[in-house]
Chain A
Amino acid sequence: MVLNVEPSCKTCTCHEEVDLSHVEKILAKYNNDRAELLSILEEVQADYGYLPQNALRMVAERTGSSMVDVFGVATFYRAFNLKPRGKHCISVCMGTACHVKGAPNVVKEFERQLGISVGETTPDNEFTLETVNCLGASALGPIVMVDGHYFSHVTPAKVKWLLSMVRAGLDKVDVKTDSRIIHLDVLCPHCNQSLMDSVHPIDGCPSIHTTITFNGVSGHARLSSLYGSYSIQSEPDAPVGTTVDFFCPSCNKKLTTTSRCPECGELMALMRVSGGGVVQICTQRGCKGHILDLSEIDI
């Protein structure tokens, strides 16, 4: 559908040429079923990074619902964006805990540094700034999440430097020297013995030491204790894709639980975080699935 809009129309995205073939595929996958509207929109957003206007129209048409209904859903959920987003998405937590710990000032500093306000994207399409309501790590607030990486105790003074890190590429960040990355001290959930091994540091921090078995062989594994780092040293090396059983080296009890990895569906191994909370990691080698739950911590 081609719409006539004046070329001066800058704020809306209707004049943008979008290739709708992906939407077509997504709709076909869900049989044009209107009950699947949320899933459809989610996938469209995943594909395009936002919900293009033409895509919304197409979804409305094919699912037999009206444009107002689809638009209502798309604007109701914070997860959906109607405007294209920048390459990096910065989410500053404005949940209660982070708020009292000074998140509003962090937001202001981001706004100042980037020259945009919350919900906007920089003109060079590099950054999108948004606020969220609790990232689930309130004890470590203010929390900022950039492209899936968590940063704890962010202060306005750290903002500039954080942005430069993001510009340089977050995946290249030197975890060894980065104090802002959360360091977890973990214990065995059964015997409460510390799993930390300071003799064999990984990423410059004490590693988490467990014994492992996979495919009938057993050995040792040392994991990085930095949240967000996936460095692992295992002896012998488990090939990517194998499921590894983790054990406590002190009591030899299995750390594997019955909960499933949100990413791949494998079982998760659970460790207690000293100070309260639990962290679960996926037992499949190579999968980065993990759950960090610090909710038990008293602030």
Chain B
Amino acid sequence: MVNFVLNGLPVSVEKGSTILEAAQFYGFPIPTLCHMEGLSPYGACRLCVVEIGEGPRAKLVTSCTYPVEEGLKVRTASERVIKARRMVIELLLASCPQSKTIQDLASAHGVRQQRFRQEYEDCILCGRCIRMCKEQMMAKAIGFRGRGEGRSIGTPFDMKSEQCRQCGGCIYVCPACQLRCTYTEPEKAVCGGCANLTPPCVEKDSFDDMMCYMNPCVACEIKKDL
């Protein structure tokens, strides 16, 4: 057992567990995106950052990859953490606003603006699908290709893979393509329609017959009553 301090609370967890696992066990929520139970931790999205250490030596680490240490001091919701998390979400929104997962995260963390150049990527390179393919499906059909700006996920040479059994596991775990959001203001990227009590579609007549994930949707119900 390892003893450490989690948000001021002295706790002990089994050796080898990550900060994320410990926090989840003790009921402190930490948002995650690239992490998935059953897949190896990867640390790509940086959403799960927490602050460790004290004073000037405090630093942000990704809780999903950081194993607990004896005497560690962890804060899962310090000001710095919240700020970093919001920034991560904002950046995610900038690249992939169509993802309902990301839109929901933005709503849940009070991200109300997106200040970067808006892009509409289909992939946030979280690597979930790759790990799914490799670790759960034992196929190794897809992988990362290239680097930096040119990094992408796919099969070698973009050719039909001999390893792929078309199980669909990659799509199942994808936070970007599995849940699509038909947000109403594409220019602004932050929709929050599903999570807000007064979603933007309330005021918009043009969205009368819009297909929506929220079924029943609060906004539509309100509208009907009017």
In contact, A14 and B157 (Cβ under 8 angstroms) = yes
Asked if A46 CB lies within 8 Å of chain B CBs, one says no
B54 → chain A closest CB, angstroms: 38
Q: Which of B128-158 contact A (CB under 8 A)?
A: 130, 140-147, 155-157
11 sampled A-B residue pairs with Cβ under 8 A = A12-B159, A14-B159, A66-B143, A67-B163, A68-B141, A68-B142, A69-B140, A71-B143, A71-B157, A75-B146, A82-B157
A contact patch SS: helix
Query: Are B140 and A68 in touch, CB under 8 angstroms?
Result: yes
**Inter-subunit contact B147/A69 (CB<8 Å):** no
Interface string of B157-189 (1 = CB under 8 A from A): 101000100000000000000000000000000
What is the interface of chain B mostly: helix, strand, loop, or mixed? Answer: loop
Pick the residue among A53, A69, A72, A76 that contacts B157 (CB under 8 A). A53
Nearest 10 CB-CB pairs, A to B? Answer: A68-B143, A71-B156, A66-B140, A75-B145, A75-B146, A76-B147, A72-B143, A67-B156, A72-B144, A68-B140
Instruction: Give A75 Cβ to nearest chain B Cβ, in Å.
Output: 5
Q: Is the CB of B146 within 8 A of A76?
A: yes
Chain A residues within 8 Å of chain B by Cβ, number: 14
Which chain A residue lies CB-closest to B158? A12
Interface residues of A (CB under 8 A from B): 12, 14, 53, 56, 66-72, 75-76, 82
Q: How far is the CB of B150 from chain A (nearest CB, A)?
A: 8
Report Cα–Cα, A75/B155, bound state, in Å. Answer: 12
Contact present for B163 and A72 (CB under 8 Å): no
In this complex, what residue of B is CB-closest to A56? B156
Chain B residues with Cβ below 8 Å from A75 are 145-147
Could you tell me the distance in whole angstroms from the C-beta of A83 to the nearest C-beta in chain B?
11
Interface pair A71/B145, CB less than 8 Å apart: yes
The CA of A71 and the CA of B130, in the complex, are separated in Å by 14
Known: A67-B156, A68-B155. 8 other contacts (CB 8 A): A12-B157, A56-B156, A67-B140, A67-B163, A68-B130, A71-B143, A71-B156, A82-B157
